[in-house]
Amino acid sequence: MPLAMVVGAVLCRPLAHVEAACANMLTPLLIASMLFLTFCRIDLRDMRLRWVHLIMLAVQIVGGVVVFVALRPWLGEVVAEGAMMCVLAPIAMAAVVIGGMLGAKVAPMVSYSLVCNIVTAVVVPPILHAFGNGSCTFVEIISRVAPTLIAPFVVAQALRYTLPKVAKWFADHSSYSFYLWLFSLVLVMGRTTAFIIDTPADISVEVELALVALVLCLAQFRLGRYIGERSGDRVAGAQSVGQKNTILAIWLTLNFLNPIASIAPTAYIVWQNFVNSYQIYRKNLS
Taking residue 255's Cβ as centre, other Cβ atoms within 10 Å add up to 15
Question: Is the torsion defined by CA of 218, 224, 230, 232 positive or negative?
Answer: negative
Choose among 272, 285, 286, 283: nearest CA to 102.
283
Please give the mean pLDDT across all residues of the chain.
88
Q: What is the pLDDT of residue 89?
A: 95
Judged against a pLDDT cut of 80, whether residue 159 lies above it is answered with yes
Choose among 182, 213, 222, 178: nearest CA to 80.
213
Most confident stretch, 55-64, 124-133, 225-234: 55-64
Choose among 139, 184, 245, 140: nearest CA to 37.
184
Q: What is the dihedral of CA 260, 262, 267, 271, to 10 degrees?
A: 150
pLDDT in tens, 86-109: 999 999 878 888 898 888 888 889
Judged against a pLDDT cut of 70, whether residue 184 lies above it is answered with yes
| Residue 286 pLDDT level (bands cut at 50, 70, 90) | low
Q: How far apart are CA 253 and CA 255, in angstroms?
A: 6
Three-point CA angle 158, 32, 38, nearest 5° = 65
Taking a C-beta distance cutoff of 8 angstroms, is the pair 276, 1 a contact? Answer: yes
pLDDT in tens, 188-243: 888 778 877 887 778 889 899 999 999 999 999 999 999 999 888 999 999 999 99
Judged against a pLDDT cut of 80, whether residue 163 lies above it is answered with yes
Most confident stretch, 65-69, 116-120, 153-157: 65-69
Query: DSSP characters for 186-253?
Result: HHHHHHHHHHHHH----HHHHHHHHHHHHHHHHHHHHHHHHHHHHHT-HHHHHHHHHSB-HHHHHHHH
The amino acid occupying position 239 is Q
pLDDT in tens, 252-273: 998 899 989 999 998 998 899 8
On whether residue 151 sits in a domain, the answer given is yes
Taking a C-beta distance cutoff of 8 angstroms, is the pair 142, 121 a contact? Answer: yes
Q: How far apart are CA 46 and CA 110, in angstroms?
A: 10
On whether residue 286 sits in a domain, the answer given is no
| Residue 186 pLDDT level (bands cut at 50, 70, 90) | confident
Domain interval for residue 275: 2-280
> Looking only at Cα atoms, what is the longest distance across the chain?
58
- What is the share, in percent, of the chain residues with pLDDT greater than 70? 99
- Ramachandran angles phi, psi of 11, nearest 5°: -100, 30
- Ramachandran angles phi, psi of 244, nearest 5°: -105, 150
Domain count, the chain: 1
Residue 38 belongs to domain with CATH number: 1.20.1530.20
Taking residue 150's Cβ as centre, other Cβ atoms within 10 Å add up to 17
On whether residue 285 sits in a domain, the answer given is no
Judged against a pLDDT cut of 70, whether residue 247 lies above it is answered with yes
On whether residue 48 sits in a domain, the answer given is yes
The amino acid occupying position 16 is A
Global pTM value: 0.87
- What is the share, in percent, of the chain residues with pLDDT greater than 90? 38
Q: Which of 3-7, 156-160, 167-171, 194-198 has the lowest mean pLDDT?
A: 194-198
Bridge partners (DSSP) of residue 244 are 91
Question: Residue 91 has what DSSP assignment?
Answer: B
Bridge partners (DSSP) of residue 91 are 244
Q: What is the pLDDT of residue 135?
A: 75
Taking a C-beta distance cutoff of 8 angstroms, is the pair 69, 132 a contact? Answer: no
Burial of 75 (0-12, 13-18, 19+ CB in 10 A): middle
Q: Which of 45-49, 57-61, 202-206 has the lowest mean pLDDT?
A: 45-49
Q: What is the pLDDT of residue 134?
A: 66
